Chain A
Amino acid sequence: MAFLSIEGVSKYFPTLEGATTRAGQSAVFCVFKDVNLRLEKGQFVTLIGHSGCGKSTLLNIVAGFEPASTGGVILDGREVTSPGLDRMVVFQSFALMPWLSAFDNVRLAVRAAHSRWDKAQIRAETQKYLDMMGLKGAEDKKPAFLSGGMRQRVGLARAFAVQPKVMLLDEPFAQIDALTRGVIQEELVRMWSATQHTVFMVTHDVDEALLLSDRIALMTNGPEARLAESFDVNIPRPRTRETLIDTAEYTRLRNHILHFLMRGSHALAGRDV
């Protein structure tokens, strides 16, 4: 049994009233259908797909924010029914509390994860994760006074500080400028190899996926999106963006994914894999 398994998950939304539905057809909209994906413990798995294919919805189902219409998610032998501290999400929008400083944002999470600790322990743990994400000196700043990159560092520090069983990254670097993105991606790799967390990420950034992932899954376009294929990324670690671009395997996989995104996902949409 895999550590985290997504078993035959489909998501339907009721269509809005007045939407064109032919007689006999149920008034539902299928976002994706019958998605199966298994993650081993400590694995970094990335789901790539076009915008609107429902990959964030799938992540929300794993997080427990939304119920699956069919199928289910099993984490470490238990079915996921609601959000919990064993799955921390890193949001595309950062989702930091704007009224709290960087330190207090992380502390909120540490306090929630370790309710029996005393104040000093909580402070020390919070500082540890802020330091690990290179946030020394920015602790007292409110999110509004931090750059996008710094904000997502706080978001990552908050997620790591809880020590969840799975980290769920929802296009975490989409709102960060390209130069900063690379630096934070490499820091994420460093944190990930140090902590050996299981990570499930959704993105539409191919380079990001290849730099970070052990395995990549490709999703077709919605509606009725499907998981088209998944494959291992056999590029030795440690990877940096610099060494990556000279690897033959990188070029091969990159082309494969790009071909899929440009043609395949349209051709495969709605077709059985």
Chain B
Amino acid sequence: MDAAETVVKSPGQGQALLISLILLGLFVLVWHLTTLRAAFNPRGLTAEQLQTLEFNGDIVRASDGRYIYNPEKVQGFPGPWAVVTKALEEISHAFEKKGTNDHGIGHLIRYTVTRFAAGFLSASVVAVCLGVLIGLSRTLYQALNPFIQVLKPISPLAWMPLLLYTVQNPTWTAMLVVFLASLWPTVANTAFGVSSMRRDYLQVASLLQLSWSQRLMRVVLPAAAPAIVAGLRISFGSALVAVVPAEMLLGELGVGYLTWIEWNNLHIAGILFAIFVVGAVGVTLDAGFNRLARLVTYTE
């Protein structure tokens, strides 16, 4: 590895990490304080009223005989501890299947990632091919550009009813929504990367009389690779945005659907947990992307 490429740890990095941790601590603290419920105060309540509350399950007797709020009956916005408890509980049986709709979080992540990968990868292949064609031919670019301009701003979710009607299968529909969500940014960026490629690379390729496929694999794609990866990254984000509502609306099992199930259960801690899972899945996949980007980026 070249010296210039090795990452030099800057002195500011430790400080930044510290600030991040402090911010996280502050966030959790504020969250905890704002969701904190004062201990149950029986003063001003008659024995009859207390009995009703106990009967309704709002309060229970603690081991020392005093009334406390029922920890089983959560009301209002859950605090951080409730979410952590929920998370630990979910993770402890991540790979269980308790029923048709009650699959462990491990399975749900797998469903979402598989669905996402299928839609995103197939879209990427199509988009890169299309982008290269458009990028290499000015005529084709001008012919296809109006269509792309019209199709690009359409929310991938807008296609969903039509897709559902056409393919009549929610699994395929969810995948196609992801496909559509990840198509256009890659097409546009690939076309840009290919068309703005320096002309002398192609001149060298023609001097060396490289075949069509060699020219594509050895010159055009590597030259456009940084732009392609940038496009894939935008696609990736928009596909990740689309997969969650697609699952919600279609009732396809996955982390997006989990948020909806938890909403139907009125389990707010569950919703928060599901949101964190969506975030975690996104961060993990994005880290993979960073690596890919580093592999193909070059300096001129």
| A82 and B206 form a contact (CB under 8 A) | yes
Known: A109-B208, A162-B208. A97 touches B203 (CB 8 A): no
| B296 and A85 form a contact (CB under 8 A) | no
Given the complex of chains A and B, what is the CA–CA distance between A98 and B208 in angstroms?
17
Out of A84, A93, A97, A98, which one reaches B207, CB within 8 Å?
A84
Closest to B1 in A: A140
Given the complex of chains A and B, what is the CA–CA distance between A84 and B207 in angstroms?
5
Given the complex of chains A and B, what is the CA–CA distance between A112 and B218 in angstroms?
12
Is there a chain A Cβ closer than 8 Å to B298's Cβ? yes
Closest to A91 in B: B200
Which residues 193-246 of B have a CB within 8 angstroms of A?
Answer: 198, 200-201, 203-204, 206-210, 218-219, 222-223, 225
**Interface band, chain B:** 20 to 34
Given the complex of chains A and B, what is the CA–CA distance between A88 and B204 in angstroms?
9
Q: What's the count of A-B pairs with C-beta under 8 Å?
A: 63
Is there a chain A Cβ closer than 8 Å to B299's Cβ? yes
Instruction: Write out the residue numbers on chain B whose beta carbons fall within 8 Å of the beta carbon of A84.
Output: 207, 209
| B207 and A89 form a contact (CB under 8 A) | yes
Q: Is the interface of A mostly helix, strand, loop or mixed?
A: loop
Cβ proximity bits A133-147 to B, threshold 8 Å, 1 near / 0 not: 000000001111100
Known: A97-B219, A97-B222. A85 touches B209 (CB 8 A): yes
Given the complex of chains A and B, what is the CA–CA distance between A161 and B225 in angstroms?
27
Given the complex of chains A and B, what is the CA–CA distance between A87 and B206 in angstroms?
11
Instruction: Write out the residue numbers on chain B whose beta carbons fall within 8 Å of the beta carbon of A91.
Output: 200, 203-204
Instruction: Write out the residue numbers on chain A whose beta carbons fall within 8 Å of the beta carbon of B209.
Output: 83-85, 112
Given the complex of chains A and B, what is the CA–CA distance between A109 and B203 in angstroms?
13
Out of A63, A64, A65, A141, which one reaches B2, CB within 8 Å?
A141
> From residue B205, how far is it (CB to closest CB) to chain A in Å?
9
Closest to B300 in A: A98
Interface centre among A91, A97, A142, A162 (most CB of B within 10 A): A97
Which residues 234-275 of B have a CB within 8 angstroms of A?
Answer: none
Cβ proximity bits B3-24 to A, threshold 8 Å, 1 near / 0 not: 0100000000000000000000
Q: 25 A–B contact pairs at CB < 8 A?
A: A63-B203, A63-B207, A82-B206, A83-B206, A83-B209, A84-B207, A84-B209, A85-B207, A85-B208, A89-B204, A91-B203, A93-B198, A93-B200, A95-B200, A95-B203, A95-B204, A97-B223, A98-B300, A99-B222, A99-B296, A99-B298, A100-B222, A108-B218, A109-B208, A143-B300
